[in-house]
Structure 1
Amino acid sequence: MIVLLFPCVVLGALVLPAHASDPRLAQPSSSAPRTASVSKQNYSVDLMQLYRESRLEDPRVIASYSKAQSGVEQENQAFGSLLPSVTANAGFNRIKQTNLQVDEAYNSRNYTVGLTQPLYNKAAWENYQHYKSQAKQADSESREAQAEATVDLAQRYFAALAADDELELVQAERRATQKNLAMVSALYSKQLAMITDLLDLKSRVDSLAAQEVDARNRSRLSRVALAEIIGRPVNEKLSRVRNDVELKVSAGSLESWVNLAITENPSIMASESAQEAAEAALRAGKGGHYPTVNLNLSAQQTNEGYNNSLAPQTDSFVAGVGVQIPIYIGGSTSARVRQLYQDLLTAEQQLVATRRQVVKELTNSYLTADSSAEKIRANHNALASAEQSRIAAEKAFTYGVVNAVDVLTAVQNEFKARRDLLKTQYDFITNLFIMSRWAGKLSEESVESVNAWLGSNDSADMFQ
């Protein structure tokens, strides 16, 4: 009877501190503990450091900058067609004339400067508006590409952390199981444990050894994925989520986030600019039916006369206005207008589709992050309970109340709870990045605010 009551007393004594030690979560502060060592073994990098490196090394980010700049230069080209064009010509000739009266050779020269200024050209003006909208579209697409690259970096960072966690968890579980195996082996040698308990523990240790090989490979592959966008091998330790921070979604409602996304999302802004560009292109196509008016100024100096004859030097100055009226060019202008109208309809529908996609993706990420925040709190409690359950099972085993399989199950449950907690934390933070991306709020400040949640937690304390 005493043997049966003692494990219960031990279990009760261990459960009470579990509630007292329930983790109290706090907002991230700037005074997060950081490692003071800079040795190769202890040096770690955080998300912000890798983010800054990726801004300089990620080909997608660099290409997005170039694409935006290309759009600006296209706009400048279109604007140049509205400004005056100035040309200068110089000619030097050696002329020989022979007829019944003249047989002579002489040199001639002529200099001409001309200026043409469009006074009215609807097609050129609307073409400028078209490329102006396309430049805005390219800028929005560039910001969307950078936001997507930021989300990808965060996903790869926390995927690498999860892979490192899995490796260390498997190693820690193997050590714990090996410790229990040693204890059972000692008891079995004294004929105080059953062979089935010993074999179960040996089987689990061997299984964990195989899992460790697989986990180590996944950890290496996750670093390769990070190196792809950083441009160098990432062999440093990665900063982990601190234990003293509260992970929660912004106080804003889902409706406020959706309204923000409708006005600030780069994809929507790019689609709106694409529609504006299509409208301007349609107006430019219709401008092919309109007349064009140009102001022409020219100055000429020459010593050539009629039929290339030698003449006294003459200075000529001409000012004029030219009007060109299109009448018929085979119906190509009307066909182009019809084609541009269909392009406009396509752009309008693409805008509708983009808005719907943004609302869907934002809603999904918001709800997922919100539920993950609740799940994190539940997983903290589950881990605390699993830890106490494992300790109680190990104590109870020493008194013969439970068998080794029960202890093995308790150890597995504890490490499963650790996996679930870490995975939920990483999923939550990743969904915050995704939510900010679709809301158009993802920036360097967003990365910095999330980076404040990371610190140099000792993995030995987390996975012991």
Structure 2
Amino acid sequence: MSASAVLLGGVFMLAAGAALAQTIAATPTGVSASTFSTDLMQLYRESRLEDPRVLASYAQAQAGKEHQREAMGALFPQVSLNAGTNRIHQESDLVEQSYDSENYSLVLRQYLYNKTAWENYQKFKSLARQSESQALDAQAEATVDLAERYFTALAAEDELELVRAERRTTQKSLDRVNALYEKQLAMITDQLDLKARVDLLAAQELDAQNQASISREALAEIVGRPVKEKLNRIRDDVQLRVSAQSLETWVREGIALNPALKANESGVEAAGAALRSGKGGHYPTLSLTLSAQQTNEGYNNALAPRTDSYVAGIGVQVPLYSGGSTSARVRGLYQDQITAEQELEAIRRRVVKEITSAYLTANSSGEKISASRNALASAQLSRVAAEKALDYGMVNAVDVLTSVRNEFRARRDLLKTQYEFVTNVLTLNRWAGKLPAESVESVNGWLSPGSSSQKLTSP
């Protein structure tokens, strides 16, 4: 390569850098420069009141508490009041008579020992805790789903703006080639290549518009209303990094706090209590009975003076044989317990896997963001240089198209990496048992209504 060629190339690079600095300072940034009226935290608050999954989880937890209270009732005294009146007609060889009889009784029964009822209460107490944990897990899952849809909507709008910006940029190159072609300084193939790319981008813009509308509808499904507001974007001045905690710490916290894991632990406890309740069918029951009765009916329905009776007794009921049903029920409940234990082990392994995957992916995305920013800066310089070189006939339209594609590919990669990072942070918090509101609040601090994002549009 001659010294003049090297010098000329250096001049082109300096001109490209100067032109890029001027366009960045002077060009509006499109969607990323707008002021947005809603953010992730606001939509999260709305979803707590509108998302059917969240509302169902609240009802499920409340139902669990009521079932526990129902089972507790069997341990308390059972009181019943009975009243009745009869019209009696009697005939005999000596007398024929009709009269009314009355009977009133109040009975109180209290179990002193009933293993089946006690263990049944323990089962429903564990099931109530399981319902609460399942509700928390459902809410955490709904939170991650909301965030994914939020950033999917942002990504769809990014894609729309990027396609429009790439089409404008390619159109400018086409206009430049048309001008050169009129001066017989460009080939017809360059003109046709650029025209084909502009037409293709116009078709892609229609598809991007459709995807943006679909992503907004996905948000509306959760919050229960059309989401027309602009969405806050990730700020440029924040360093996206995972907590300094080690992976082992995250896993340890997840094992201790994850609501899905806690729900399965309660499920194992409930299965154990159900097994003990089934075995209680072999045990005797001991009960105390207190009763008071008033009646004017005597032996053989004969009319008698009013009698008040007060009885206190202790009864023992010993099961001897029930056709083998009690033993079969116990064997079935034992298998249910083994099933619950295996489900617990499965969810424990999944917690470890999900935390590890989210942690490593988030860390990788955080490191990739810096590299993507550098790649974008280089791609911008390359594109500007290619456009300048086209004016001097040093490159053809294919080279310009390649540089434009590389720039917008870098823009897409950067935005995608940022959204993947934030989503993985929320996923990590979910499986580690962090409260959904706290997770959303921390991520929401990375968003700003005035954020310029990564300058989606191109000069």
Match of 1:320 among 288, 309, 313: 313
Q: In the alignment, what sits opposite 1:437?
A: 430
Q: Is 1:410 matched up with 2:403?
A: yes
1:400 to partner: Cα distance: 2.9
Q: Is 1:120 matched up with 2:113?
A: yes
Q: Which 10-residue stretch deviates more, 300-309 or 140-149?
A: 300-309
1:251 aligned partner, one-letter code: A
Structure-2 separation of matches of 1:243 and 1:102? 108
User: Aligned pair in 2 of structure 1 residues 459, 375: CA closer, same or farther (>3 Å)?
Assistant: closer
SS in 2 for 1:106: strand
TM-score (normalizing by structure 2) = 0.92
Match of 1:205 among 186, 198, 209: 198
Match of 1:9 among 11, 16, 24: 11
1:401 to partner: Cα distance: 2.7
1:399 to partner: Cα distance: 2.8
1:10 to partner: Cα distance: 4.1
SS in 1 for 2:70: helix
1:17 to partner: Cα distance: 11
1:278 to partner: Cα distance: 0.9
User: Aligned pair in 2 of structure 1 residues 459, 353: CA closer, same or farther (>3 Å)?
Assistant: closer
Q: For residues 387-417 of structure 1, what are the alpha-carbon distances to aligned partners after superposition, in whole Å with 9 as ceiling and x for unaligned?
A: 1221222222223332232222211111111
Given that 1:362 and 1:435 are in contact with CA atoms closer than 8 Å, whether structure 2 keeps it comes out as yes
User: Aligned pair in 2 of structure 1 residues 183, 17: CA closer, same or farther (>3 Å)?
Assistant: closer
Structure-2 separation of matches of 1:52 and 1:76? 31
Q: In the alignment, what sits opposite 2:24?
A: none
**1:145-160 to 2 correspondences below 5 Å:** 145-160=138-153
Match of 1:333 among 315, 326, 331: 326
Q: In the alignment, what sits opposite 1:245?
A: 238
Q: For residues 29-58 of structure 1, what are the alpha-carbon distances to aligned partners after superposition, in whole Å with 9 as ceiling and x for unaligned?
A: xxxxxx9x9xxx965321111111111111
Given that 2:15 and 2:385 are in contact with CA atoms closer than 8 Å, whether structure 1 keeps it comes out as no
Between Structure 1 and Structure 2, how many residues are aligned?
446
1:346 to partner: Cα distance: 1.2
Q: In the alignment, what sits opposite 1:26?
A: none
Match of 2:157 among 164, 174, 179: 164
**1:278-297 to 2 correspondences below 5 Å:** 278-297=271-290
Q: Is 1:69 matched up with 2:71?
A: no
Match of 2:214 among 218, 221, 227: 221
User: Aligned pair in 2 of structure 1 residues 183, 460: CA closer, same or farther (>3 Å)?
Assistant: farther
Q: In the alignment, what sits opposite 1:111?
A: 104
Structure-2 separation of matches of 1:210 and 1:16? 33
Q: Could you tell me which runs of 5 or more consecutive residues in structure 1 were left unpaired when the two chains were aligned.
A: 20-34
SS in 2 for 1:184: helix
Match of 2:417 among 424, 434, 445: 424
Structure-1 separation of matches of 2:108 and 2:316? 16
Given that 2:57 and 2:134 are in contact with CA atoms closer than 8 Å, whether structure 1 keeps it comes out as yes
Given that 2:85 and 2:102 are in contact with CA atoms closer than 8 Å, whether structure 1 keeps it comes out as yes
Coordinate RMSD, CA, aligned: 2.3
Structure-1 separation of matches of 2:70 and 2:281? 19
1:307 to partner: Cα distance: 1.7
Q: Is 1:363 matched up with 2:363?
A: no
Structure-2 separation of matches of 1:408 and 1:448? 42
Given that 1:18 and 1:384 are in contact with CA atoms closer than 8 Å, whether structure 2 keeps it comes out as no
**1:334-413 to 2 correspondences below 5 Å:** 334-413=327-406
Structure-2 separation of matches of 1:6 and 1:340? 85
Q: In the alignment, what sits opposite 1:186?
A: 179
1:424 aligned partner, one-letter code: T
Q: For residues 427-452 of structure 1, what are the alpha-carbon distances to aligned partners after superposition, in whole Å with 9 as ceiling and x for unaligned?
A: 11111111111111141111011111
Given that 1:147 and 1:442 are in contact with CA atoms closer than 8 Å, whether structure 2 keeps it comes out as yes
1:8 aligned partner, one-letter code: G
1:72 aligned partner, one-letter code: K
Structure-2 separation of matches of 1:337 and 1:377? 61
1:104 to partner: Cα distance: 2.0
1:18 to partner: Cα distance: 9.1
Q: Is 1:463 matched up with 2:457?
A: yes
Q: Is 1:133 matched up with 2:126?
A: yes
Q: Which 10-residue stretch deviates more, 450-459 or 350-359?
A: 450-459
Q: Is 1:85 matched up with 2:78?
A: yes
User: Aligned pair in 2 of structure 1 residues 417, 460: CA closer, same or farther (>3 Å)?
Assistant: closer
Structure-2 separation of matches of 1:107 and 1:289? 46
Structure-1 separation of matches of 2:184 and 2:115? 100
Q: Could you tell me which runs of 5 or more consecutive residues in structure 2 were left unpaired when the two chains were aligned.
A: 22-30
TM-score (normalizing by structure 1) = 0.91
User: Aligned pair in 2 of structure 1 residues 127, 186: CA closer, same or farther (>3 Å)?
Assistant: same
Structure-2 separation of matches of 1:350 and 1:443? 24
Structure-2 separation of matches of 1:412 and 1:343? 58
Structure-1 separation of matches of 2:6 and 2:439? 56
1:458 to partner: Cα distance: 4.8
Given that 1:303 and 1:313 are in contact with CA atoms closer than 8 Å, whether structure 2 keeps it comes out as yes
1:117 aligned partner, one-letter code: Q
Q: For residues 147-181 of structure 1, what are the alpha-carbon distances to aligned partners after superposition, in whole Å with 9 as ceiling and x for unaligned?
A: 11111111111111111100100000001111111
SS in 1 for 2:153: helix
Q: Which 10-residue stretch deviates more, 246-255 or 55-64?
A: 55-64
1:310 to partner: Cα distance: 1.7
1:218 aligned partner, one-letter code: Q
SS in 2 for 1:100: coil
Given that 1:7 and 1:395 are in contact with CA atoms closer than 8 Å, whether structure 2 keeps it comes out as no
Structure-1 separation of matches of 2:206 and 2:133? 45
Q: Which 10-residue stretch deviates more, 319-328 or 300-309?
A: 300-309
Given that 1:262 and 1:268 are in contact with CA atoms closer than 8 Å, whether structure 2 keeps it comes out as yes
1:237 aligned partner, one-letter code: K
Given that 1:7 and 1:392 are in contact with CA atoms closer than 8 Å, whether structure 2 keeps it comes out as no
Q: In the alignment, what sits opposite 1:28?
A: none
Q: Is 1:55 matched up with 2:48?
A: yes
1:462 aligned partner, one-letter code: L
1:279 to partner: Cα distance: 0.7
SS in 1 for 2:304: strand
Q: In the alignment, what sits opposite 2:226?
A: 233
Structure-2 separation of matches of 1:380 and 1:223? 28
Q: In the alignment, what sits opposite 1:270?
A: 263
2:274 aligned partner, one-letter code: A
